[in-house]
Amino acid sequence: MAASLLWSYLLAVVAVVTVLYYQLLPAALSGLAVYVLTAKLARHLPARWGSKAHAVALAGIILVVTFAVSGGFIGLWLFIQGHEGMGELMGAAAERLEGLKRSLPAWLTPYVPDSMEQMRQKVATVLREHSRNLSQAGVWGVRTAAHVLFGLVIGAIAVLHRLKGKKSQPPLAAGLEGRLARLTDAFEKVVFAQVKISLLNTVLTTLYLAVILPLCGVHLPMVTLLILLTFVAGLLPVVGNLISNSIIVLLSLGESPSVALASVGFLLFVHKLEYFTNAKIVGGRVDASAWELLTAMLVLEAVFGMEGMIAAPIVYAWLKMELTEQGLV
């Protein structure tokens, strides 16, 4: 392997570790989104257009994509911080959790192990702490917004540099561009495939929460936020649905045990369907099975926390594409 190629791999690994260690993932994701969407749309510009018309059209695409990506981040943040924010949702979940033992029959209460009760109290406390933290997350929100803004600008500049199409480059620059090309390819495959899966799960969950349950006379609180949470959490492969499903089941317990059982049954069906669609869509596009993605998510979560778990499918897909390109796997 040439020295320049080896250095490009080392610098790429350092870049990934730096992004995850210093919590720069929002900047990286926003930049990659602008890069991939702009490059994807630019391919459809007519070749017969002159250089000036092409440059104007490309500038328009970059502006539209940048505003769309930033608008998505801003809209999601404003919705979460609204009157039906995540704080209220976590608070409602915590109340259901704390009320579980009180709702048990008197004869069954003495048989509940103390460790289970302590575990419930700890989870309820964590939920309440997150409820308070989410309502006081102004500083974190400003910092994240700044990172997203920098990411948007960097992504736009990077895609312009790529589309200018320099014919010859120094070996290290060419190697780094190759690493970026693989990373954006992995990002496109994982994210777009996972969006399809999340949309399917969200449609089915919306049908259950907003149609089936109301027809049965059951109205869960904050259904709109639950639907949004289902979509956002569903962007995380395999385990994403467990986050929203746990809250839905917990809120269903507040209605009645039968509603909780119905929710468990329905969500198990959706979860099994996700395994099939995940293996079919994501696994097929990046040549990775569910257990591989889960292992990568577990390892990166242990090392870098939540950001590591979110980035794991993209990082793993990129790593596997690089190894495949070198004929090592």
Taking residues 106-125, report their average pLDDT. 48
Taking residues 222-227, report their average pLDDT. 84
DSSP type of residue 111: G
Contact 62, 40 (CB under 8 A): no
* pLDDT score at 113: 40
Q: Which residue has the higher pLDDT, 53 or 134?
A: 53
pLDDT-derived band at 84, boundaries 50, 70, 90: very low
CB atoms under 10 Å from CB of 229, counted, come to 20
Taking residues 91-111, report their average pLDDT. 56
3-state DSSP call for residue 266? helix
Contact 290, 278 (CB under 8 A): yes
- Tens-place pLDDT, residues 121-166: 554 554 455 555 544 445 556 677 788 888 888 988 888 888 776 6
Q: Where are the domains of the chain?
A: 170-329
Taking residues 287-311, report their average pLDDT. 83
pLDDT-derived band at 114, boundaries 50, 70, 90: very low
Statement: residue 303 has pLDDT above 80: yes
Taking residues 185-211, report their average pLDDT. 87
Lowest mean pLDDT among 124-133, 239-248, 261-270: 124-133
Q: Please give the Cα distance from 84 to 106 (Å, whole number).
A: 35
What six digits make up the tokens of 198?
A: 């999340």
- Tens-place pLDDT, residues 11-46: 999 999 999 999 899 899 889 999 999 988 888 888
* pLDDT score at 280: 63
* pLDDT score at 102: 59
Statement: residue 6 has pLDDT above 50: yes
DSSP type of residue 109: G
